[in-house]
Amino acid sequence: MITAYVRADDRLTAVPLEPGAPLPAGTIWLDVLRPAEVEREQISAQLGVDLPTREDMSEIEASSRLYLEGEAAFLTTPVISRGDSGHPDLGLLTFVLTRGCIITVRHTEPLWLAIFATRAMRHPGLVTGPMDVLLGLLEAVVDRAADVLELVGGRLDEISRQIFAAANRQRAEEAPVARSARRRAGARRARKRGSDALKSAITAIGWAGDLTQKVRDSLAGLERLGVFVVTVAGTRLDKDQKVRLKTITRDIHSLVEHAAFQAHQTGFLLDATLGVINIEQTNIIKIFSVAAVAFLPPTLVASIYGMNFAHMPELDQSWGYPLALVLMVLSAILPLLYFRRRGWL
């Protein structure tokens, strides 16, 4: 599908371009969504440029994403789409910058592009030529990346509070206080909620890390694109456009630093979550270890008196059985008292 944005009488209008139809006079922007072969041939015949295929756009080499063919500059960068859904995706957008117009080739439908097009048609002075379209779209991409980073930052703050709240509950439960049956049941439910919270925190951290990485990929592509634009199209920029491009580049640098900070914060929260889970598992293993040590002396006493030797005088006495039972109980209680005194219980 091809949409031509035509500037005439100081107005910008969108004109759907049918297959085989001539290019309207005054076209400054062609937006090509999922181009079919007939549409690729149509643009090639009218503008003399060969649009890149989806496979060409997916190439990761810089020379395959940023290059010149004659007087046309081809600029491909990853962009964030579906940013308002809570689950943004990373698509590819190619700018084909020619002398007369700019062509955008895409296989994704980001909302920010539609918003920019609507805004450009409402405000005639916003877009007067192809370079204004390019700069406006770059500004929209950067704004969307900033919005996604803000979304991730807010979620990371919630995850942080969730993790350390679970850690505080765990520490409170470990306090050596006497509990009634009701309080013990409440503690078990609290532990279950804390465990579920930590599991959901790991999922949320993975979501935040994935989004942050997508934004970093998009910003890296925008950085390279900005440098290439200055190199190949610097003479086509007027003074105001150079200032806008410089501002965009500065914003990209600041967002790159912020994305790196959020990536570090994501790693820290993941380590903290795994640390709290490890502490919880260590406490469980500690209980089993204490139980094993407590039952070891009674087992030893029972094993001794289970031997059928002829000379074991206690076996012939009436108090032999009660004595064995008392020894087993004492041998279990004494280690438990020792562990409690040392603060291990």
Buried b (16+ CB within 10 A) or exposed e, 108-133: bebebbeebbeebeeeeeebebbbbb
Say which residue, 190 or 227, is predicted with more confidence. 227
Give, in order, the Cα–Cα distances in Å from 258 to each of 157, 247, 264.
15, 17, 10
Rounded to whole angstroms, the Cα distance separating 239 from 94 reads: 25
Rounded to whole angstroms, the Cα distance separating 164 from 340 reads: 27
In 34-153, beta strands by DSSP E: 66-69, 72-81, 89-97, 102-106
16-25, 95-104, 290-299: which is most confident: 95-104
Which helix or strand (DSSP H or E) is residue 236 part of? none
Contact of 197 with 167, CB cutoff 8 Å: no
> How many other C-beta atoms can be found within 10 angstroms of the C-beta atom of residue 248?
19
For the record, the structure tokens of 66 come out as 């940023």
Q: Kindly indicate the confidence band of residue 17, based on its pLDDT and cuts at 50, 70 and 90.
A: confident
85: which strand partners? none
List, for residues 207-255, the tens digit of each pLDDT value.
788 888 888 888 888 888 888 877 776 667 778 878 888 888 888 888 8
- Nearest-5° Cα angle at 116, 151 to 17: 135
Number of H helices, E strands in the chain: 8, 7
Which residue is listed with tokens 């001794």? 304
191: which strand partners? none
Rounded to whole angstroms, the Cα distance separating 49 from 248 reads: 28
List, for residues 328-344, the tens digit of each pLDDT value.
888 878 877 777 776 66
The answer to whether residue 178 scores a pLDDT higher than 50 is no
Sign of CA dihedral 143, 146, 152, 158: negative
Quick one: which of 106, 96, 128 has its CA closest to 35? Answer: 106
Look at phi and psi of residue 10 and say left if phi exceeds 0, alpha if psi is from -120 to 50, else beta.
Answer: left
List, for residues 30-72, the tens digit of each pLDDT value.
888 887 888 777 878 777 787 877 877 777 776 677 877 777 7
Give, in order, the Cα–Cα distances in Å from 227 to each of 31, 62, 75, 138, 262.
23, 12, 11, 13, 25
The per-residue pLDDT for 344 is 63
Rounded to whole angstroms, the Cα distance separating 332 from 298 reads: 6
Q: Kindly indicate the confidence band of residue 177, based on its pLDDT and cuts at 50, 70 and 90.
A: very low
